[in-house]
Structure 1
């Protein structure tokens, strides 16, 4: 059956088809009696794709002519389609973002957890939402997953950051992901089996124009105050060498390489808490890792520094960083040893050497995410304004305009990845993100300013800005 192009194209027969596939039942024995489709993400979330929330009430019967309900079941799902924005859609196709996430859900994560069960079945699996249906071809793409929000999972407040218990829970699961994929790769060669999963350095190189633009904006902010002017000048003096240092770190050999999540921050972690009698938040019961479109193959240190420096406060880092790193390393080594595949040159001291080597990477990419996600003025975080073309009688005009946008995007997307295009992208980002700089300079967003300045001060203390 043809896959819908977006949430508005979802139909009852298509839902019967995918649920039949999920339940291993013929569609003729299923009947969707009611379904609803609504937004699955808020402004600023899911901008690389269209996320929709689907609730379907289904009955089971003997055949399609005479439905004799045996039971009624309600399915709560999240469906992910290609981005509705033409340029984002074409860039994602070039970067194979959708293909990577499809491979993780459809095959790779199942293989990793199968390895775990066969070797150490008593250990918890890598936690991701259950896949209900997936389709990927040159013209079709959809992932339908269980809506874990209906089971009590929720994201932490990104403005507060992860406290120690939530951070520790996440790191424990990430250590399992890294350990299992490290072992699995020894016999399967993940990059060869799944060519869409590129190296971390190749994946991140496409972000360099945006990173450099945001670094320019950071310097402008720092130099606007006498207290931070010298620090802003120091960063401006090493901008190019800082970038080259990061690329060199990412391409250097590592004793351990594995599948990394690639976008491991607060909003891609969903927690379930135990119920309490007084209605307060209880202990953490479970956690899920979501949004795998940026996964790649490289050093596990990237994931670790990304979550630490994007999603925690300086107070949490000062109090728990050493304990965190020891827990990660011991969990990783315990698992790979139980599977009889421990790496050489990866004892705790050697691990810490790599952690320190990565410090520039742990500043450059996390600072950009903080700047973008904690801002209230970032255009990407705002709900799109209604268009006059949304009126029903202008549907033909809207279709024509969308077709022209898609055609232009197909022409422009390859330029985005060229040297000329990267210069254009950097200039565009500087202009588009100017409201974020103004917000920083106003000082009104105290959380953004504090988290960003703490990151800069820590990086300076760790000599990241030394040429």
Structure 2
């Protein structure tokens, strides 16, 4: 018998089997009816999202027809539809992604943390501040294995917004209100439960800061080079980016450090934009339900990042120009009101203090938003990890190699990561440089111009 064992769970859509589905669905049904047995009659696998909607995961939709038999009962037909998430790439790429920690944090959020936060807000706030996310169905995050299965919200009538037009004002307000409640509930929860002690996987590490610093450097350089290729159109922007590169990097580093020093930190979604918020509508067409999806970048950090990220990835310039103060006021009042109701009043956090924090986060947030708009509006959307899975000894060896990589110092990891990021993102900066995608170009130039207007950098 070989010393390496094949995984019990699929590592990609191609490895999903009828037997595995029956095992998972039997566990799922047994939550409400002990020892239920599920027999799958048929199933099919479809894409879980469209092009330019996902870059770090393999997301699929599994639909199945099955017979469910509860203990001592008779079989009954059931239709299932679930979203399943895998880490793309070969074993080394998958294990490296897990090593950074994001996949485990997402699984923890859906399986443990959000249920705990919702119980907390029901007990203290009467259920007025629910955190709405897909129901967790099944998940595994161990050496050599990762899979996350959750509710398919489209079956419940939810839809994503329009990423090209951005959110409408009513959609934006619904998203901001629920975002403020997520932040307030987690902030209040941590005052009595000490979140990062309870969930140590959410402690920031030097590795995280190192990777973020490398990423920001690549984005700044790529943006500068793309605009320099069109310097006659944007001479001031090219000059300002070049002369303020160090200042931008320092501002982002200070903001990164401040998130651990400031008392106001909470659970941050980390990727809160149009593609990751879903709405349900009533007969009149008004927003009647809201859900947050894709928690793959979740962390414990300054809440301003989520709000900035939403505003600069998911709205048009006119919305930010005409409604920014209205949205800021809505967020602040929803956050402070919820926190007070949960016995965590923020007596010394005035609206002026909130605005100062919002401004301080502008440099980091706008840079990430430039990147998000760049890749999601490009015609070259693709998954970053594209390696091929193997089996047997070769698979086992790739997994073990990641253990060795974990011993490399963070500074060296940053140096090694830089050329990979540069190569992976170059196709998007080339798209920007070509100026052949007016929608993307306009969105990027608007963001960079706003950065100057708000004194993020100095021309």
TM-score where L is the length of structure 1: 0.87
Between the aligned partners of 1:216 and 1:295, the Cα distance in structure 2 is 26
1:82 CA drift (Å)? 3.0
Structure-2 residue corresponding to 1:392: none
> SS of the residue aligned with 1:433?
helix
Question: In the alignment, what sits opposite 2:60?
Answer: 52
Query: How far 1:167 moved relative to its partner?
Result: 1.1
For residue 417 of structure 2, what is the aligned residue in structure 1? 425
1:347 is matched with 350
Q: How many residues align?
A: 448
CA distance in 1, matches of 2:177, 2:206: 25
Is 1:218 aligned to residue 223 of structure 2?
yes
CA distance in 2, matches of 1:127, 1:7: 27
- 1:314 and 2:339 matched: no
Name the SS for the 1:125 alignment partner. Answer: coil
* 1:148–1:210 Cα change, 3 Å: same
* CA contact 2:373–2:440 (8 Å) conserved in 1: yes
Query: Offset of 1:459 from its aligned partner?
Result: 0.5
Say which of 256, 269, 278 aligns to 1:261: 269
1:6-17 mapped onto 2 (5 Å cutoff): 6-17=12-23
The reply on whether 1:335 has 2:327 as its aligned counterpart is: no
* 1:38 maps to 2:54: no
Q: Contact 2:56–2:384 at 8 Å: present in 1 too?
A: no
Q: Are 1:464 and 2:453 counterparts?
A: no
Q: Does 1:149 align with 2:154?
A: yes
SS of residue in 2 equivalent to 1:238: helix
In structure 2, the CA distance between the partners of 1:57 and 1:416, relative to structure 1 (3 Å rule), is: farther
Residue 435 of structure 1 is matched in structure 2 by 427
Going from structure 1 to structure 2, the CA distance change for 1:13 and 1:183 (only over 3 Å counts) comes to same
Checking the alignment, whether the CA contact within 8 Å between 1:51 and 1:79 is kept in structure 2 is yes
Determine helix, strand or coil for the equivalent of 1:72: strand
Against the structure 1 CA distance between its residues 61 and 91, is the aligned structure 2 distance closer, same or farther, given a 3 Å change threshold? closer
8 A contact 1:22–1:133 mirrored in 2:
yes
SS of match in other structure, 1:135: strand
Q: After superposition, give the CA deviation of every residue in 1:180-224 in whole Å (9 maximum; x if it has no partner).
A: 000000111111111111339864542322321121121122222
The reply to whether residue 80 of structure 1 matches residue 85 of structure 2 is yes
User: Secondary structure of the residue that 1:423 maps to in structure 2?
Assistant: helix
Q: CA deviation at 1:379?
A: 4.8
Which segment drifts farther, 40-49 or 329-338?
Answer: 40-49
Q: Distance in 2 between matches of 1:11 and 1:399?
A: 16
Contact 1:17 1:27 (C-alpha < 8 Å) held by counterparts: no
**CA 1:378–1:240 in structure 2 vs 1: closer, same or farther (change >3 Å)?**
farther
Give the CA RMSD over aligned residues. Answer: 3.0
Please, which of 92, 110, 120 is the counterpart of residue 115 of structure 1? 120
Instruction: State the match for 1:250 in structure 2.
Output: 256
Instruction: Report SS of the residue matched to 2:330.
Output: helix
Are residues 1:164 and 2:169 paired? yes
CA offset at residue 78 of structure 1? 1.0
- CA drift at 1:366: 1.5
Aligned to 2:369: 366
SS in 1 for 2:84: strand
| Aligned partner of residue 11 in structure 2, secondary structure | coil
Q: Is the 8 Å Cα contact of residues 144 and 399 (structure 2) preserved in structure 1?
A: no
In the TM superposition, what is the alpha-carbon distance from 1:126 to its structure 2 partner? 0.7
Question: In structure 1, what is the Cα distance between the partners aligned to 2:34 and 2:9?
Answer: 18
Partners of 1:122 and 1:424 lie apart in 2 by 48
Moved more, 153-162 or 400-409: 400-409
Moved more, 30-39 or 237-246: 30-39
CA 1:379/1:408 → structure 2, altered by over 3 Å: closer, same or farther? farther
Residue of 275, 278, 287 corresponding to 1:284: 287
Is 1:451 matched with 2:443? yes
Kept in 2: contact 1:43–1:380 (CA 8 A) = no
